[in-house]
Structure 1
Amino acid sequence: MTISSTALPSVALGSRSGLRVSAIGLGCSRLGSTLSGCTGPVAERLLRHALDSGVTLLDTANIYGQGESERLIGRALQGRRDGVTLATKAGQRFTAAQKVAALAKAPLRMLAQQIPAVRDAIANRRAGALPRDVSPTHLQSSVEASLRRLRTDRIDLFLLHSPDAEAIRRGEAFAMLDGLVRAGKLRAWGISVDDAAAAEAALAVPSVAALQIPLELAETMRPALATAAARGIGFMMREIFNGVTTRPDGRAGAIQAALGFPQAVALVGTTSPAHLDEALAHLRNARLPETTA
């Protein structure tokens, strides 16, 4: 169907999660980061603009901005928490050097703005893989810390942050996460994956309600994702604009491709209200599955 009204279409993010969200969610990975400049009032204006525009899904993680992304979201959501679906992630740890650097975040941000070499050094360090920890102890403490930063009593969708396939198959924290769902601290949980092996392992877990997956990877796994959707798993498509220059319809085509999967939402990571508005305009002109309302 073609969306022509000013309201955003919504997507059922799989029957296992019980969540219904706007078809586009805001990716908040750069909020509060040293390099983005999107912090304080600037970030809060972006978040309010997204919510006022009909976006009801915010995606973040405990490591984004060394926790500042969650803090900014928590402040922006005061008085409007019930209308928003919060997704956050945990399972990666900062190195000792990164923890020290976080203590000097403000001066580092200023230096990065003035000295290109400092900016490049920070960007190169950020590009490296972080140590993974999906142990029950680490995830339990991460959930509690995220709840405090987000100023809320529950996380709507909690995701393991990029575990490898072997860690998923071990599943040592799954019983604990199921317990947090029963306790009401999580409404549902899932896994954010980086490769096909991890995605296949995640899809085999009975408690997984949703998968966050790069669009390019999802397009290589269409039959498996269709089968999983029929079993109630929802999908959050990320990195949807990677390789956008190869699509005949550009960004509009990328959004349509992401939302062409059943029970899928497209994550748009941006710090620019104008860029978000562009994505929402593409959404309103998209042809979406009949199951999208």
Structure 2
Amino acid sequence: MIGTMRLAGVFDGLKVRPRSRHNVQRFLSRAIDFGFRSFDTAPIYCRGIAEEALGDFSSEDLAITTKVGVNIDSTLPQLAYSYSEYWRSLEGSLTRLRRSRVSCLLLHNPAVRQVRSDDFLRFCEDVLRQGISHRVGCSVSDSVTFRAAVELSPNSDIMISRQLLNSPSVLNRSRKAGQRILVRTLFGGTFANTPARIQPSQIVNEAISTLRGALPLAQLVIAPHTLIQLTAYKDDINSASQGGMAGL
């Protein structure tokens, strides 16, 4: 899965600094040519520009994961954890993505109370019932919220950072959870700080093999920012991911 947080540019909380739309389209087109079909995005990513960039590619075989929980229409983005705000966010995403449905919809960095709230649970039920998203779940950043997310339906998804797997309790719960586990961001940017004696392909293969052996993984999120980085990752990731890893 290609992560798009920095693909379309940078939003620092005050100002959007977008990349050239032409370069973004070239990147996405090349990624699709390489066989990548899954993309992770969110309204806050470059304040909607990442979703708009994905909207330029209308192929229905692309699996898009986006998120709710942030209102980007206010003067400054604000957390928005209510039933009506979830719908407002989703409708904005579908407009920017030029789609009537997405593959997966995640609650973006919630606290435990939002994961367990009636508003979120009712929203998930309605979204699934109406066929607007095939799957729902949470993108969490700490072990406490992860434990709350595990209590959701076994058909839900949980996105976590690779660093969170350093916690033995999280790793054990991940193994037992009925949910699909999505790990972000496995590879971001370049291998510029890698010692010369270690090849990037070695890092890719070891990391993916370790995670595959430890978890019931569904997808791994990578975040190359340029065509050069994308090309460097492609062969190693596809090779290491053969044998049951979905979502690349």
Residues 1:282 and 2:229 aligned together: no
The structure carrying a bigger strand percent of its residues is 2
Q: Larger radius of gyration, structure 1 or 2?
A: 1
Question: 2: CA distance between counterparts of 1:183 and 1:71?
Answer: 23
Q: Please list every run of 5 or more consecutive structure 1 residues that lacks an aligned counterpart in the other structure.
A: 1-24, 100-130
- Please point out which of 55, 58, 61 is paired with 2:39: 58
Give the counterpart letter for 2:240 in structure 1.
A
User: Counterpart in 1 of 2:174?
Assistant: 225
1:253 equivalent in alignment to 2:229: no
| Equivalent residue for 1:86, pick from 54, 64, 77 | 64
The RMSD of aligned alpha carbons is: 2.6
Give the C-alpha shift of residue 208 in structure 1. 5.4
Matches within 5 A, 1:1-293: 25-34=1-10, 38-75=19-56, 77-78=57-58, 80=59, 82-94=60-72, 98=76, 131-206=78-153, 209-220=156-167, 221-228=170-177, 231=178, 233-241=179-187, 249-260=202-213, 261-286=215-240, 290-292=243-245
8 Å CA contact retained: 1:256, 1:283 = no
What SS is found at the alignment partner of 2:186?
coil
Range moving further from structure 2, 40-49 or 87-96: 87-96
Is the alpha carbon distance of 1:30 and 1:291 closer, same or farther for their aligned partners in structure 2, counting shifts above 3 Å? Answer: closer
| CA deviation vs aligned residue, 1:232-273 (integer Å, no higher than 9, x gap) | x11211022489969x74344333334442133111112212
Q: Deviations over 1:145-194 (max 9, x none)?
A: 11111001101100000001222122422112211211111111110000
Displacement of 1:74 in angstroms is 0.4
Contact 1:159/1:192 (8 A) holds in 2: yes
Q: Which AA in structure 2 matches 1:280?
A: K
Residues 74 and 149 in structure 1, CA contact (< 8 A), matched pair in contact too: yes
State how far apart, in whole Å, the 1-side matches of 2:154 and 2:240 are.
32
Quick one: distance in 2 between partners of 1:60 and 1:49? 18
Contact 1:61/1:88 (8 A) holds in 2: yes
Partners of 2:79 and 2:155 lie apart in 1 by 19
| Residues 33, 66 of structure 1: 8 Å contact kept | no
TM-score normalised per structure 2: 0.82
SS at match of 2:70: coil
Secondary structure of 1:187's partner? Answer: strand
CA distance in 2, matches of 1:241, 1:287: 14
Gaps of 5+ in 2: 12-16
- Counterpart CA distance in 1 for 2:43 and 2:140 is 16
Q: Please, what TM-score do these two structures have when normalized by structure 1? A: 0.70
Structure 2 Cα separation of the partners of residues 255 and 37 of structure 1: 31
Answer yes or no: is the 8 Å Cα contact 2:155–2:180 preserved in 1.
no
State which drifts further: 210-219 or 137-146: 210-219
In structure 2, the CA distance between the partners of 1:287 and 1:34, relative to structure 1 (3 Å rule), is closer
* Counterpart secondary structure, 2:147: helix
Higher relative contact order (CA 8 A, sep 6+): 1
Partners of 2:147 and 2:126 lie apart in 1 by 24
